[in-house]
C-alpha cells in the first residue's frame, strides 16, 4: 500500500512511523517518475509490513522537496525514525531499488 505524503501528514506518517518509510518524490509530468511507479508499487507489495511506502508530489508539496534537497526526480528517500538514511535518484528496477536502499 502506498500513502500520499503531504506537509500536513508528514509527522504522523513518517516521523512517528514504527516502520522505515520509503518516499517517492515525483511529478505527474515526469516520464521517469511514471516508469518507476510500478517498480515502487511492487516494492511496496513485496515488503508490506516491513516498510511503509509513500509518494510526495513535488509540485504540490514544494516545501518537502526543498527540505530534503530533491533537485531531480524521481528521488526516493528511505527514512528511519523520521530521519533520511538513504537516497536514490533516477529510475531503477524493483530489485535495484531494494539493493540500493539495503531493504
Nine cell digits for residue 46: 513485496
33 catalytic per annotation: yes
Identify the active-site residue in 21, 23, 33, 36. 33
pLDDT digits (tens, 9 = 90+) for 21-58: 999 999 999 999 999 999 999 999 999 999 999 999 99
Q: Any idea which residue has 539495503 for its cell?
A: 102
CA 35 to chain centre: 14
Identify the active-site residue in 27, 30, 37, 100. 30
CATH of domain 2-97: 3.40.30.10
Q: Write down the H helix ranges in the chain.
A: 10, 31-46, 62-67, 94-101
26 catalytic per annotation: no
Domain ranges of the chain: 2-97
- pLDDT band at residue 2, thresholds of 50, 70 and 90? confident
| Secondary structure (3-state) at 97 | helix
Calculate what percentage of the chain has a pLDDT beyond 90.
92
Amino acid at each position: 500500500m502506498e500513502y500520499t505524503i503531504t506537509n500536513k501528514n508528514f509527522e504522523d506518517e513518517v516521523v512517528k512511523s514504527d516502520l522505515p518509510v520509503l518516499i517517492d518524490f515525483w511529478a505527474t509530468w515526469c516520464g521517469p517518475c511514471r516508469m518507476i511507479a510500478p517498480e515502487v508499487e511492487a516494492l511496496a507489495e513485496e515488503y508490506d509490513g516491513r516498510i511503509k511506502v509513500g509518494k510526495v508530489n513535488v509540485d504540490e508539496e514544494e516545501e518537502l522537496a526543498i527540505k530534503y534537497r530533491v533537485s531531480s526526480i524521481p528521488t526516493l528517500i528511505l527514512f528511519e525514525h523520521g530521519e533520511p538514511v538513504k537516497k536514490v535518484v533516477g529510475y531503477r528496477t524493483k530489485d535495484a531499488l531494494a539493493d540500493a536502499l539495503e531493504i
